[in-house]
Amino acid sequence: MSGAEVMFASSIASTAMSFFGAISQGNAERAAYNRQAAIDERNRELANQDRIRSEQLSRQAAEDKRRENRRTMSALRAAYGSSGIEMAGTPLDILADASTEMALDERRIEDEGRVTNREYALKMLGLDESADMNRAAGKNAKKASIIKAGSTLLGNSQQIYDSGTKAGVI
């Protein structure tokens, strides 16, 4: 085998390696992006489970507070009744104020639950967007590798032709 033939063969081998290397790199990048998208989707599911559990706990806490408030109001009424205080004027105002504060406490608990629920919903939205972006980046990486591989073939075709001509193969 002459030196020109060796050059021709090495040009073809080099081009083939670059071509398949570019394709392989694109496949690996796409797989990595798809893996990250799958992780984002799993994290979204976990965030949704946390959101649902948080919502349940919030409702439970509000209901517990309502029961506690009813017991407290019953105890206040019983204390007023057993002491012989008439349920009018100041005692009635105190009960009304206590009832209002208790209702506000219940609403605060419910509001905290809604805020937490919204935070989880926003987290889920962000994870959805991240998964979509990773899938798109994976597709783009694959396309870029095909373009790079094609460019390698086109770019090295002149070198292959020249070495093939010198070797008398072309």
Assign 168 to helix, strand or coil: coil
Spatial separation of the C-alpha atoms in residues 66 and 80, rounded to whole Å: 21
Could you tell me the CA-to-CA distances from 16 to 100, 101, 151 in Å, in that order?
A: 80, 78, 12
Spatial separation of the C-alpha atoms in residues 17 and 89, rounded to whole Å: 94
pLDDT score for 80: 86
State the residue range of the domain holding 56.
3-167
Please report, for the domain that includes residue 100, its CATH number: 1.10.287
Query: How many domains, the chain?
Result: 1
> pTM of the predicted model, to two decimals?
0.73
Q: Which of 34, 30, 21, 29 has the alpha carbon at shortest distance from 148?
A: 21
Q: Which of 138, 141, 139, 123 has the alpha carbon at shortest distance from 50?
A: 123
pLDDT score for 169: 78
pLDDT averaged per 10 residues in sequence order, the chain, 170 residues: 83 94 97 98 98 97 97 93 86 93 97 97 98 98 97 90 82
